[in-house]
Chain A
Amino acid sequence: MIRRRALVLAAALGAPLLVAGAALGQGDAPAPDPRLAAAANQLALAHVVTGDEAVDRTAAEGLAGLSLALAMRTTVEPGPPVAVALDVDDLSLLTFLYWPVTDTQPQPSPQAYVRLNRFLRAGGVILFDTRDGDVAGLGAPDGTAALRRLAAPLDVPPLAPVPQDHVLTRSFYLLEDFPGRWVGNPLWAEAPANPAGDPAGGGFRRLNDGVSPVLIGANAWAEAWAVDDRGLPVYAVGRGYDGERQREMALRFGINLVMYVLTGNYKSDQVHVPALLDRLGRESEGRP
Chain B
Amino acid sequence: MTALAFDPLLPWAAVAAVAVVALAVAALAWGRGLRGWAWRALAGLALAAALAGPVLDSGIRRALSDIVILIEDASASQTLPGRADQARGAADALAASVAALPGTELRRIPLGDDPDGTLLGAALTRALAAEPEGRVAGVIAVTDGRAHDPRAIPATAPAPVHVVLTGQPGDWDRRLVIDEAPAFGLIGQPVILRLRVEDQGAVPPAVAGRAATLRLSIDGAEEQVLSVPPGVPLDVPVTPAHAGQNVVAARIDPPAADPAQLTALNDAAVIQIQGVRDRLRVLLVSGEPHAGERTWRNLLKSDTNVDLVHFTILRPPDKMDGVPLDELALIAFPTEALFQDRIKDFDLIIFDRYRIRGILPADYLDNIRRYVEDGGALLVASGPEMAGVESLHLSPLGPVLPGRPTGRMLDEAFRPTLTDAGRRHPVTAGLPGAGDDRAGTPGWGRWLRMGEIIPDADAEVLMSGAADLPLLVVNRVGKGRVALLTSDQVWLWDRGFEGGGPQLELLRRVAHWSMKEPELEEESLSAQVAVDQTVTVTRHTMGDSAGPVTVTGPDGAARALPLADEGDGRFAATFVAEAPGLYRLVDGDLTRLVAVATAAPREFEETVADARVLDLLVRATGGSVSRLSDGVPAVRTVRAGRPATGRGVAGSWIGITPRGAQAVEGTTRRPLMPGWAWLALIAALALAAWLVEGGRLGGRPARQGSRAGRRAQ
Interface residues of A (CB under 8 A from B): 28-29, 31-32, 37, 40-41, 43, 72-76, 90, 92-93, 95, 118-119, 122-124, 170-174, 207-209, 211, 252, 258-259, 262-267, 269-270, 273, 276-277, 280-281, 283-284, 287-288
Contact = CB atoms under 8 A, between A and B. Distances in A.
Interface stretch (B336-344, B570-578, B691-699): B336-344
B289 A280 contact: no
Contacts of B683: none
A28 B413 contact: yes
Contact of B309 (A74, A95, A170, A277): A277
Given A76-B289, A92-B497, A280-B281, A32 B342 contact: no
Contacts of A283: 345
B498 interface: yes
A124 B497 CA distance: 12
Contacts of B323: 173, 252
Contacts of A270: 310, 331
Nearest to B338: A277
A74 B345 contact: no
Contacts, number: 144
Contact of A37 (B291, B314, B337, B448): B448
Contact of A288 (B188, B298, B411): B188
B301 interface: yes
B494 A74 contact: no
A174 B288 contact: no
B319 A73 contact: yes
A173 B328 contact: yes
Contact of B329 (A32, A174, A209, A265): A174
Given A43-B290, A123-B494, A172-B328, A75 B342 contact: no
Contacts of A119: 495
B494 A40 contact: no
Contact of A266 (B188, B312, B489): B312
Nearest to B288: A75
Contact of B448 (A40, A124, A208, A277): A40
User: Which of A170, A258, A263, A287 has the largest number of chain B CB atoms within 10 A?
Assistant: A263
Contact of A263 (B293, B298, B308): B293
B294 A262 contact: yes
A269 B337 contact: no
B496 A122 contact: yes
A72 B323 CA distance: 13
Interface in B284-303: 286-291, 293-295, 297-298, 301
B495 A93 contact: yes
A31 B413 contact: yes
Given A73-B315, A73-B319, A74-B319, A262 B334 contact: no
Nearest to B488: A41
Contacts of B665: none
A69 B286 CA distance: 21
B301 A209 contact: yes
A173 B310 CA distance: 19
B291 A262 contact: yes
User: Which of B286, B294, B341, B489 has the largest number of chain A CB atoms within 10 A?
Assistant: B294
Given A72-B319, A92-B492, A211-B294, A174 B334 contact: no
A93 to B, nearest CB: 6
Across the A-B interface, the 3 shortest Cβ-Cβ residue pairs: A262-B289, A170-B329, A75-B288
Given A32-B413, A118-B496, A174-B326, A208 B294 contact: yes
A76 B288 contact: yes
Given A172-B314, A209-B301, 20 more contacts: A37-B448, A72-B319, A74-B314, A75-B289, A90-B497, A122-B500, A123-B295, A208-B298, A209-B294, A209-B298, A266-B312, A269-B310, A270-B310, A273-B310, A276-B307, A277-B309, A277-B337, A280-B345, A281-B341, A283-B345
B415 A28 contact: yes
A174 B329 CA distance: 5
Interface residues of B, number: 54
A172 B295 CA distance: 20
Given A172-B314, A277-B342, A40 B287 contact: no
B313 interface: yes
Nearest to B357: A75
Given A28-B446, A29-B446, A209-B298, A122 B494 contact: yes
B342 A281 contact: yes
11 contacts: A40-B448, A41-B449, A72-B321, A118-B496, A124-B495, A209-B294, A252-B327, A259-B314, A263-B293, A264-B297, A281-B341
B643 interface: no
A173 B288 contact: no
A119 B500 CA distance: 12
B330 interface: yes
Contacts of A273: 309-310, 334
B316 interface: yes
Contacts of B495: 92-93, 119, 122-124
User: Which of A40, A72, A252 has the largest number of chain B CB atoms within 10 A?
Assistant: A40
Contact of A259 (B289, B298, B327, B413): B289
Contacts of B291: 40, 43, 95, 262
A75 B448 contact: no
User: Which of B287, B289, B291 has the largest number of chain A CB atoms within 10 A?
Assistant: B289
B448 A32 contact: yes
Nearest to B239: A288
Interface in B391-430: 411, 413, 415
Contacts of B489: 40
A207 B298 contact: yes
A270 B301 CA distance: 13
A283 B347 CA distance: 14
Contacts of B297: 209, 263-266
B334 A277 contact: yes
Contact of A173 (B294, B327, B331): B327
Nearest to A259: B289
Contacts of A259: 289, 314
Contacts of B337: 277
Interface in B484-509: 489, 492, 494-498, 500
B471 to A, nearest CB: 16
Contacts of A252: 323, 327
A284 B342 contact: yes
A73 B328 CA distance: 12
Contacts of A281: 341-342, 345
A68 B687 CA distance: 145
B88 to A, nearest CB: 58
Interface in B53-96: none
Contacts of B413: 28, 31-32, 37
Contacts of A277: 309, 334, 337-338, 342
Contacts of A207: 298
Contacts of B308: 269
A168 B342 CA distance: 30
B214 to A, nearest CB: 24
A93 B281 contact: no
A191 B344 CA distance: 40
B446 A32 contact: yes
B494 A174 contact: no
B309 A276 contact: yes
A80 to B, nearest CB: 16
B496 A75 contact: no
User: Which of B291, B313, B319, B411 has the largest number of chain A CB atoms within 10 A?
Assistant: B291
Contacts of B446: 28-29, 32
A114 to B, nearest CB: 12
Nearest to B329: A170
A74 B413 CA distance: 28
A276 to B, nearest CB: 6
A72 B287 CA distance: 16
Given A281-B341, A283-B345, A73 B298 contact: no
